[in-house]
Structure 1
Amino acid sequence: MSRRPAGAGHSEASGGTDGAVAGDRVLTLPNLISFVRLLGVPLFLYLLLVPHADVAAVVVLAIGGTTDWVDGWVARRLRQVSRLGELLDPLADRLYILATLIAFTVRDVVPWQFTAALLARELLLLGSLAVLRRYGYGPPPVHYVGKTATFLLLAAFPTLLLATAVSGAATVAGAIGWGLAWWGLVLYWVAGAMYVIQAVRLVRAARGGGAPA
Protein backbone atom coordinates (compact mmCIF):
# COMPACT_ATOMS: atom_id res chain seq x y z
CA MET A 1 0.00 0.00 0.00
CA SER A 2 1.56 3.28 -1.04
CA ARG A 3 1.30 6.59 0.72
CA ARG A 4 -1.52 8.82 -0.50
CA PRO A 5 -3.34 11.91 0.69
CA ALA A 6 -5.69 11.38 3.59
CA GLY A 7 -9.23 10.61 2.45
CA ALA A 8 -8.17 9.05 -0.84
CA GLY A 9 -9.10 5.49 0.06
CA HIS A 10 -12.23 3.52 0.89
CA SER A 11 -13.57 2.23 4.17
CA GLU A 12 -14.42 -1.42 4.60
CA ALA A 13 -18.10 -0.76 4.27
CA SER A 14 -17.75 0.60 0.79
CA GLY A 15 -18.43 -1.60 -2.18
CA GLY A 16 -15.11 -0.73 -3.84
CA THR A 17 -14.55 0.56 -7.33
CA ASP A 18 -12.45 -2.19 -8.95
CA GLY A 19 -9.71 0.24 -9.89
CA ALA A 20 -12.02 2.87 -11.40
CA VAL A 21 -10.80 6.43 -11.10
CA ALA A 22 -13.02 8.57 -8.89
CA GLY A 23 -14.29 11.81 -10.43
CA ASP A 24 -15.70 15.01 -9.00
CA ARG A 25 -19.29 14.60 -10.23
CA VAL A 26 -22.05 15.11 -7.67
CA LEU A 27 -25.30 14.61 -9.58
CA THR A 28 -25.04 10.92 -10.42
CA LEU A 29 -27.46 8.02 -10.03
CA PRO A 30 -25.25 6.21 -7.46
CA ASN A 31 -25.03 9.36 -5.34
CA LEU A 32 -28.81 9.78 -5.55
CA ILE A 33 -29.25 6.21 -4.27
CA SER A 34 -26.85 6.92 -1.40
CA PHE A 35 -28.76 10.12 -0.50
CA VAL A 36 -32.04 8.16 -0.42
CA ARG A 37 -30.40 5.56 1.84
CA LEU A 38 -29.27 8.35 4.18
CA LEU A 39 -32.85 9.70 4.35
CA GLY A 40 -33.96 6.25 5.47
CA VAL A 41 -31.96 6.54 8.71
CA PRO A 42 -34.07 9.27 10.41
CA LEU A 43 -37.24 7.69 8.99
CA PHE A 44 -36.31 4.37 10.57
CA LEU A 45 -35.58 6.01 13.92
CA TYR A 46 -38.89 7.86 13.86
CA LEU A 47 -40.91 4.76 13.01
CA LEU A 48 -39.23 2.65 15.66
CA LEU A 49 -39.04 5.11 18.54
CA VAL A 50 -42.06 7.41 18.15
CA PRO A 51 -45.13 5.55 16.84
CA HIS A 52 -43.50 2.11 17.45
CA ALA A 53 -44.46 1.11 13.91
CA ASP A 54 -42.18 -1.92 14.00
CA VAL A 55 -43.33 -3.54 10.75
CA ALA A 56 -42.80 -0.32 8.78
CA ALA A 57 -39.42 0.12 10.47
CA VAL A 58 -38.50 -3.43 9.41
CA VAL A 59 -39.31 -2.54 5.79
CA VAL A 60 -37.22 0.65 5.87
CA LEU A 61 -34.30 -1.12 7.53
CA ALA A 62 -34.48 -4.07 5.13
CA ILE A 63 -34.48 -1.76 2.10
CA GLY A 64 -31.55 0.22 3.50
CA GLY A 65 -29.60 -2.96 4.17
CA THR A 66 -30.33 -4.84 0.97
CA THR A 67 -29.49 -1.82 -1.20
CA ASP A 68 -26.06 -1.57 0.44
CA TRP A 69 -24.38 -2.90 -2.70
CA VAL A 70 -26.63 -1.18 -5.24
CA ASP A 71 -24.95 2.24 -5.35
CA GLY A 72 -21.48 0.74 -5.74
CA TRP A 73 -22.65 -1.68 -8.44
CA VAL A 74 -24.42 1.09 -10.36
CA ALA A 75 -21.35 3.34 -10.07
CA ARG A 76 -19.12 0.69 -11.60
CA ARG A 77 -21.68 -0.34 -14.21
CA LEU A 78 -22.34 3.21 -15.42
CA ARG A 79 -18.78 4.38 -14.81
CA GLN A 80 -20.07 7.04 -12.42
CA VAL A 81 -17.57 6.50 -9.62
CA SER A 82 -17.11 9.74 -7.66
CA ARG A 83 -15.23 10.92 -4.59
CA LEU A 84 -18.53 11.97 -3.02
CA GLY A 85 -19.91 8.49 -3.59
CA GLU A 86 -16.87 6.95 -1.93
CA LEU A 87 -17.78 8.97 1.17
CA LEU A 88 -21.57 8.59 1.06
CA ASP A 89 -21.68 4.80 0.70
CA PRO A 90 -19.71 3.88 3.87
CA LEU A 91 -21.30 6.83 5.71
CA ALA A 92 -24.77 5.41 5.02
CA ASP A 93 -23.67 1.94 6.17
CA ARG A 94 -22.24 3.23 9.42
CA LEU A 95 -25.20 5.48 10.15
CA TYR A 96 -27.59 2.56 9.63
CA ILE A 97 -25.54 0.38 11.98
CA LEU A 98 -25.10 3.05 14.66
CA ALA A 99 -28.71 4.29 14.48
CA THR A 100 -30.03 0.74 14.64
CA LEU A 101 -27.83 -0.12 17.61
CA ILE A 102 -28.97 2.93 19.57
CA ALA A 103 -32.65 2.40 18.75
CA PHE A 104 -32.49 -1.34 19.42
CA THR A 105 -30.79 -0.76 22.77
CA VAL A 106 -33.48 1.76 23.76
CA ARG A 107 -36.21 -0.71 22.74
CA ASP A 108 -34.41 -3.67 24.40
CA VAL A 109 -34.13 -5.54 21.11
CA VAL A 110 -30.39 -6.09 21.71
CA PRO A 111 -28.51 -6.00 25.04
CA TRP A 112 -26.26 -3.05 25.77
CA GLN A 113 -23.22 -5.36 25.86
CA PHE A 114 -23.66 -6.13 22.15
CA THR A 115 -23.96 -2.43 21.36
CA ALA A 116 -20.89 -1.62 23.45
CA ALA A 117 -18.85 -4.29 21.62
CA LEU A 118 -19.67 -2.80 18.21
CA LEU A 119 -19.13 0.79 19.34
CA ALA A 120 -15.76 -0.13 20.87
CA ARG A 121 -14.66 -1.50 17.52
CA GLU A 122 -15.73 1.74 15.81
CA LEU A 123 -13.67 3.75 18.27
CA LEU A 124 -10.67 1.50 17.58
CA LEU A 125 -11.01 2.06 13.85
CA LEU A 126 -11.43 5.82 14.28
CA GLY A 127 -8.21 5.91 16.30
CA SER A 128 -6.37 3.97 13.60
CA LEU A 129 -7.67 6.29 10.88
CA ALA A 130 -6.56 9.34 12.87
CA VAL A 131 -3.03 7.92 13.16
CA LEU A 132 -2.91 7.07 9.44
CA ARG A 133 -4.09 10.56 8.53
CA ARG A 134 -1.31 12.04 10.67
CA TYR A 135 1.24 10.18 8.54
CA GLY A 136 -0.39 11.18 5.26
CA TYR A 137 -2.42 8.04 4.56
CA GLY A 138 -6.10 7.74 3.75
CA PRO A 139 -8.43 5.00 5.02
CA PRO A 140 -7.35 1.40 4.32
CA PRO A 141 -8.64 -0.16 1.08
CA VAL A 142 -11.78 -2.28 1.04
CA HIS A 143 -11.37 -5.73 2.59
CA TYR A 144 -13.66 -8.68 2.00
CA VAL A 145 -13.88 -9.49 5.72
CA GLY A 146 -15.14 -6.02 6.59
CA LYS A 147 -17.64 -6.01 3.72
CA THR A 148 -18.95 -9.41 4.83
CA ALA A 149 -19.29 -8.23 8.45
CA THR A 150 -21.28 -5.17 7.35
CA PHE A 151 -23.56 -7.32 5.19
CA LEU A 152 -24.22 -9.75 8.05
CA LEU A 153 -25.06 -6.95 10.49
CA LEU A 154 -27.34 -5.17 8.03
CA ALA A 155 -29.12 -8.50 7.43
CA ALA A 156 -29.31 -9.33 11.15
CA PHE A 157 -30.94 -6.11 12.34
CA PRO A 158 -34.22 -6.27 10.36
CA THR A 159 -34.46 -9.99 11.18
CA LEU A 160 -34.13 -9.28 14.92
CA LEU A 161 -36.70 -6.51 14.66
CA LEU A 162 -39.02 -8.86 12.78
CA ALA A 163 -38.72 -11.33 15.66
CA THR A 164 -39.89 -8.59 18.02
CA ALA A 165 -42.64 -7.18 15.80
CA VAL A 166 -44.25 -10.46 14.70
CA SER A 167 -44.87 -12.89 17.55
CA GLY A 168 -45.37 -15.86 15.24
CA ALA A 169 -41.90 -15.38 13.76
CA ALA A 170 -40.11 -14.79 17.06
CA THR A 171 -38.45 -18.19 17.40
CA VAL A 172 -37.19 -18.68 13.84
CA ALA A 173 -36.40 -15.03 13.11
CA GLY A 174 -34.71 -14.61 16.49
CA ALA A 175 -32.44 -17.61 15.93
CA ILE A 176 -31.50 -16.49 12.42
CA GLY A 177 -31.06 -12.87 13.45
CA TRP A 178 -28.77 -13.61 16.38
CA GLY A 179 -26.77 -16.09 14.32
CA LEU A 180 -26.13 -13.38 11.73
CA ALA A 181 -25.50 -10.76 14.42
CA TRP A 182 -22.87 -12.73 16.32
CA TRP A 183 -21.05 -13.74 13.14
CA GLY A 184 -21.16 -10.13 12.03
CA LEU A 185 -19.75 -8.96 15.35
CA VAL A 186 -16.89 -11.47 15.23
CA LEU A 187 -15.97 -10.59 11.64
CA TYR A 188 -16.32 -6.88 12.45
CA TRP A 189 -13.62 -7.24 15.09
CA VAL A 190 -11.48 -9.48 12.85
CA ALA A 191 -11.59 -6.80 10.15
CA GLY A 192 -10.79 -4.14 12.75
CA ALA A 193 -7.76 -6.08 13.94
CA MET A 194 -6.57 -6.46 10.34
CA TYR A 195 -6.82 -2.71 9.79
CA VAL A 196 -4.93 -1.98 13.01
CA ILE A 197 -2.13 -4.35 11.98
CA GLN A 198 -1.99 -2.70 8.56
CA ALA A 199 -1.90 0.75 10.18
CA VAL A 200 0.97 -0.29 12.47
CA ARG A 201 2.99 -1.55 9.50
CA LEU A 202 2.40 1.67 7.56
CA VAL A 203 3.38 3.85 10.50
CA ARG A 204 6.56 1.84 11.11
CA ALA A 205 7.49 2.09 7.44
CA ALA A 206 6.85 5.85 7.48
CA ARG A 207 9.00 6.32 10.56
CA GLY A 208 11.76 4.20 9.10
CA GLY A 209 11.68 6.04 5.79
CA GLY A 210 11.04 2.84 3.85
CA ALA A 211 8.31 2.01 1.36
CA PRO A 212 5.36 0.27 3.04
CA ALA A 213 4.36 -3.12 1.74
Structure 2
Amino acid sequence: MQEDTLADETLAERVWTVPNLLSLARLAGVPVFLWLVLGPEEDGWALVLLMVAGFTDYLDGYLARRLNQMSRLGQVLDPVADRLYILAVVVGLALRDVIPWWVALILPLRDLLLWILVPILRTRGYSALPVHFLGKAATFNLLYAFPLLLLGDGEGVVATLADVFGWAFAIWGIGLYWWAGILYAYQVYRFVQTTPRRSVAPDG
Protein backbone atom coordinates (compact mmCIF):
# COMPACT_ATOMS: atom_id res chain seq x y z
CA MET A 1 0.00 0.00 0.00
CA GLN A 2 2.83 2.37 0.88
CA GLU A 3 4.58 1.59 -2.41
CA ASP A 4 1.37 2.41 -4.31
CA THR A 5 1.11 5.74 -2.48
CA LEU A 6 4.72 6.61 -3.28
CA ALA A 7 4.17 5.69 -6.92
CA ASP A 8 1.09 7.91 -7.11
CA GLU A 9 3.01 10.82 -5.55
CA THR A 10 5.91 10.36 -7.98
CA LEU A 11 3.49 10.24 -10.91
CA ALA A 12 1.71 13.38 -9.75
CA GLU A 13 5.03 15.26 -9.70
CA ARG A 14 6.00 14.24 -13.24
CA VAL A 15 6.41 17.04 -15.76
CA TRP A 16 7.49 15.53 -19.09
CA THR A 17 4.43 13.42 -19.86
CA VAL A 18 2.64 13.09 -23.19
CA PRO A 19 -0.51 14.93 -21.96
CA ASN A 20 1.59 17.79 -20.56
CA LEU A 21 3.52 18.12 -23.82
CA LEU A 22 0.23 18.35 -25.70
CA SER A 23 -0.98 21.07 -23.34
CA LEU A 24 2.30 22.97 -23.77
CA ALA A 25 1.99 22.69 -27.55
CA ARG A 26 -1.57 24.03 -27.30
CA LEU A 27 -0.30 26.98 -25.25
CA ALA A 28 2.39 27.70 -27.83
CA GLY A 29 -0.32 27.95 -30.47
CA VAL A 30 -2.07 30.89 -28.76
CA PRO A 31 0.24 33.67 -30.06
CA VAL A 32 0.42 31.93 -33.44
CA PHE A 33 -3.38 32.09 -33.73
CA LEU A 34 -3.44 35.79 -32.87
CA TRP A 35 -0.76 36.50 -35.45
CA LEU A 36 -2.62 34.55 -38.14
CA VAL A 37 -5.91 36.36 -37.46
CA LEU A 38 -4.61 39.89 -36.90
CA GLY A 39 -1.49 39.92 -39.10
CA PRO A 40 -1.78 38.29 -42.51
CA GLU A 41 -5.44 37.34 -41.81
CA GLU A 42 -4.80 33.76 -42.85
CA ASP A 43 -8.19 32.54 -41.65
CA GLY A 44 -7.77 29.08 -43.18
CA TRP A 45 -4.64 28.33 -41.17
CA ALA A 46 -6.21 29.91 -38.09
CA LEU A 47 -9.16 27.52 -38.46
CA VAL A 48 -6.81 24.56 -38.77
CA LEU A 49 -4.97 25.65 -35.63
CA LEU A 50 -8.23 25.97 -33.70
CA MET A 51 -9.36 22.51 -34.80
CA VAL A 52 -6.02 21.01 -33.75
CA ALA A 53 -6.28 22.80 -30.40
CA GLY A 54 -9.80 21.47 -29.87
CA PHE A 55 -8.69 17.92 -30.67
CA THR A 56 -5.66 18.07 -28.37
CA ASP A 57 -7.90 19.43 -25.61
CA TYR A 58 -9.75 16.11 -25.74
CA LEU A 59 -6.66 14.03 -26.44
CA ASP A 60 -4.52 15.16 -23.51
CA GLY A 61 -7.23 14.28 -21.00
CA TYR A 62 -7.85 10.92 -22.67
CA LEU A 63 -4.15 10.04 -22.72
CA ALA A 64 -3.67 11.14 -19.12
CA ARG A 65 -6.27 8.60 -18.06
CA ARG A 66 -5.30 5.92 -20.59
CA LEU A 67 -1.57 6.07 -19.86
CA ASN A 68 -2.02 6.78 -16.15
CA GLN A 69 -0.05 10.02 -16.56
CA MET A 70 -2.14 12.36 -14.43
CA SER A 71 -0.06 15.08 -12.81
CA ARG A 72 -0.46 18.24 -10.79
CA LEU A 73 1.08 20.24 -13.62
CA GLY A 74 -1.41 18.77 -16.06
CA GLN A 75 -4.30 19.76 -13.82
CA VAL A 76 -3.09 23.36 -14.11
CA LEU A 77 -1.93 23.41 -17.73
CA ASP A 78 -5.13 22.02 -19.26
CA PRO A 79 -7.59 24.64 -17.93
CA VAL A 80 -5.03 27.45 -18.39
CA ALA A 81 -4.56 26.48 -22.05
CA ASP A 82 -8.35 26.37 -22.54
CA ARG A 83 -8.86 29.80 -21.02
CA LEU A 84 -5.97 31.41 -22.90
CA TYR A 85 -7.32 30.04 -26.17
CA ILE A 86 -10.78 31.38 -25.42
CA LEU A 87 -9.31 34.76 -24.46
CA ALA A 88 -7.10 34.91 -27.56
CA VAL A 89 -9.95 33.93 -29.87
CA VAL A 90 -12.50 36.38 -28.49
CA VAL A 91 -9.99 39.25 -28.55
CA GLY A 92 -8.86 38.38 -32.07
CA LEU A 93 -12.39 38.02 -33.43
CA ALA A 94 -13.56 41.18 -31.66
CA LEU A 95 -10.67 43.17 -33.17
CA ARG A 96 -11.70 41.78 -36.57
CA ASP A 97 -15.34 42.81 -35.86
CA VAL A 98 -16.45 39.17 -36.25
CA ILE A 99 -18.05 39.17 -32.79
CA PRO A 100 -19.32 42.09 -30.68
CA TRP A 101 -17.17 43.32 -27.80
CA TRP A 102 -19.70 42.23 -25.16
CA VAL A 103 -18.84 38.62 -26.04
CA ALA A 104 -15.12 39.38 -25.72
CA LEU A 105 -15.70 40.88 -22.27
CA ILE A 106 -18.26 38.54 -20.71
CA LEU A 107 -16.10 35.40 -20.97
CA PRO A 108 -12.90 36.77 -19.36
CA LEU A 109 -15.06 38.46 -16.71
CA ARG A 110 -16.25 35.03 -15.53
CA ASP A 111 -12.65 33.83 -15.22
CA LEU A 112 -11.66 37.01 -13.39
CA LEU A 113 -14.41 36.44 -10.83
CA LEU A 114 -13.21 32.86 -10.26
CA TRP A 115 -9.57 33.91 -9.93
CA ILE A 116 -10.64 36.20 -7.11
CA LEU A 117 -11.81 33.07 -5.26
CA VAL A 118 -8.41 31.33 -5.45
CA PRO A 119 -6.95 33.03 -2.33
CA ILE A 120 -10.03 31.88 -0.40
CA LEU A 121 -9.44 28.31 -1.57
CA ARG A 122 -5.82 28.45 -0.43
CA THR A 123 -6.89 29.27 3.12
CA ARG A 124 -8.58 25.86 3.12
CA GLY A 125 -5.65 23.97 1.61
CA TYR A 126 -6.82 23.88 -2.01
CA SER A 127 -4.92 25.47 -4.89
CA ALA A 128 -7.68 25.04 -7.49
CA LEU A 129 -11.06 23.45 -8.02
CA PRO A 130 -11.28 20.23 -10.00
CA VAL A 131 -12.50 20.57 -13.59
CA HIS A 132 -16.02 19.20 -13.88
CA PHE A 133 -18.05 18.06 -16.86
CA LEU A 134 -20.11 21.24 -17.20
CA GLY A 135 -16.98 23.37 -17.54
CA LYS A 136 -15.55 21.03 -20.18
CA ALA A 137 -18.89 21.06 -22.04
CA ALA A 138 -18.83 24.87 -22.09
CA THR A 139 -15.28 24.89 -23.44
CA PHE A 140 -16.26 22.29 -26.05
CA ASN A 141 -19.11 24.50 -27.29
CA LEU A 142 -16.93 27.60 -27.43
CA LEU A 143 -14.07 25.87 -29.22
CA TYR A 144 -16.59 24.79 -31.88
CA ALA A 145 -18.33 28.17 -31.98
CA PHE A 146 -15.34 30.37 -32.74
CA PRO A 147 -14.00 28.51 -35.80
CA LEU A 148 -17.54 28.54 -37.23
CA LEU A 149 -17.89 32.28 -36.56
CA LEU A 150 -14.54 32.89 -38.20
CA LEU A 151 -15.64 30.79 -41.19
CA GLY A 152 -18.90 32.75 -41.23
CA ASP A 153 -17.04 36.02 -41.76
CA GLY A 154 -17.61 35.90 -45.47
CA GLU A 155 -20.24 35.52 -48.16
CA GLY A 156 -22.14 32.61 -49.60
CA VAL A 157 -24.19 29.70 -48.32
CA VAL A 158 -21.35 28.06 -46.41
CA ALA A 159 -20.50 31.30 -44.60
CA THR A 160 -24.16 31.89 -43.73
CA LEU A 161 -24.62 28.38 -42.33
CA ALA A 162 -21.34 28.62 -40.42
CA ASP A 163 -22.46 31.92 -38.88
CA VAL A 164 -25.82 30.47 -37.79
CA PHE A 165 -24.35 27.33 -36.24
CA GLY A 166 -21.47 29.30 -34.80
CA TRP A 167 -23.79 31.60 -32.89
CA ALA A 168 -25.85 28.60 -31.73
CA PHE A 169 -22.71 27.04 -30.23
CA ALA A 170 -21.59 30.42 -28.86
CA ILE A 171 -24.86 31.12 -27.04
CA TRP A 172 -24.90 27.66 -25.48
CA GLY A 173 -21.21 27.93 -24.68
CA ILE A 174 -21.53 31.32 -22.97
CA GLY A 175 -24.51 30.11 -20.95
CA LEU A 176 -22.75 26.91 -19.87
CA TYR A 177 -19.52 28.82 -19.16
CA TRP A 178 -21.26 31.09 -16.69
CA TRP A 179 -23.34 28.27 -15.24
CA ALA A 180 -20.13 26.34 -14.59
CA GLY A 181 -18.67 29.47 -13.01
CA ILE A 182 -21.62 29.75 -10.65
CA LEU A 183 -21.19 26.09 -9.67
CA TYR A 184 -17.48 26.68 -9.04
CA ALA A 185 -18.33 29.64 -6.82
CA TYR A 186 -20.84 27.50 -4.94
CA GLN A 187 -18.17 24.83 -4.45
CA VAL A 188 -15.91 27.46 -2.92
CA TYR A 189 -18.74 28.49 -0.60
CA ARG A 190 -19.22 24.87 0.47
CA PHE A 191 -15.48 24.42 1.06
CA VAL A 192 -15.43 27.51 3.24
CA GLN A 193 -18.44 26.29 5.21
CA THR A 194 -17.27 22.71 5.72
CA THR A 195 -13.46 22.87 5.74
CA PRO A 196 -11.51 24.40 8.63
CA ARG A 197 -9.03 27.11 7.88
CA ARG A 198 -5.55 25.72 7.32
CA SER A 199 -2.93 26.95 9.74
CA VAL A 200 0.08 28.46 8.01
CA ALA A 201 3.45 27.85 9.59
CA PRO A 202 5.52 31.02 10.09
CA ASP A 203 8.59 31.47 7.91
CA GLY A 204 12.05 31.01 9.37
TM-score when normalising by structure 1: 0.82
Percent pairwise identity: 49
Aligned residue among 33, 39, 42 for 1:50:
39
Distance 1:137 1:30 in 2: 23
Residue equivalent to 2:95? 106
Give the counterpart letter for 1:141 in structure 2.
Answer: P
Distance 1:98 1:30 in 2: 22
Larger radius of gyration: 2
**Root-mean-square deviation over aligned CA pairs:** 1.9
Distance 1:91 1:75 in 2: 16
Report the Cα offset of residue 137 of structure 1: 2.1
Contact 2:145/2:169 (<8 A) preserved: yes
Residue equivalent to 2:201? none
- Alignment of 1:129 with 2:118, yes or no, is yes
Contact 1:54/1:165 (<8 A) preserved: no
Distance 2:197 2:82 in 1: 36
Residue equivalent to 1:94? 83
Distance 1:23 1:98 in 2: 28
Runs of at least 4 residues off by over 6 Å: none
Larger CA deviation: 93-102 vs 139-148: 139-148
Report the Cα offset of residue 134 of structure 1: 2.9
Give the counterpart letter for 1:94 in structure 2.
Answer: R
Give the counterpart letter for 1:190 in structure 2.
Answer: W
1:14-40: per-residue Cα shift (whole Å, max 9, x none)? Answer: xxxxxx865222222112211211111
Distance 1:160 1:115 in 2: 13
Give the counterpart letter for 1:43 in structure 2.
Answer: V
Provide structure 1 residue ranges, at least 5 long, that are not aligned to the other structure: 1-19
Count of aligned pairs between the two proteins? 190
1:78-114: per-residue Cα shift (whole Å, max 9, x none)? Answer: 1122222222111111110011111111111110111
- Alignment of 1:37 with 2:23, yes or no, is no
Distance 1:105 1:140 in 2: 30
Q: For residue 36 of structure 1, give the secondary structure of its aligned residue in structure 2.
A: helix
Aligned residue among 167, 181, 203 for 1:178:
167
Distance 1:50 1:165 in 2: 18
Report the Cα offset of residue 166 of structure 1: 6.2
Give the counterpart letter for 1:61 in structure 2.
Answer: L
Q: For residue 98 of structure 2, give the secondary structure of its aligned residue in structure 1.
A: coil
Report the Cα offset of residue 200 of structure 1: 1.3
Report the Cα offset of residue 167 of structure 1: 4.3
Provide structure 2 residue ranges, at least 5 long, that are not aligned to the other structure: 1-7, 199-204
- Alignment of 1:141 with 2:152, yes or no, is no
Aligned residue among 34, 41, 49 for 1:60:
49
Distance 2:20 2:108 in 1: 27
Residue equivalent to 1:4? none
Residue equivalent to 1:154? 143
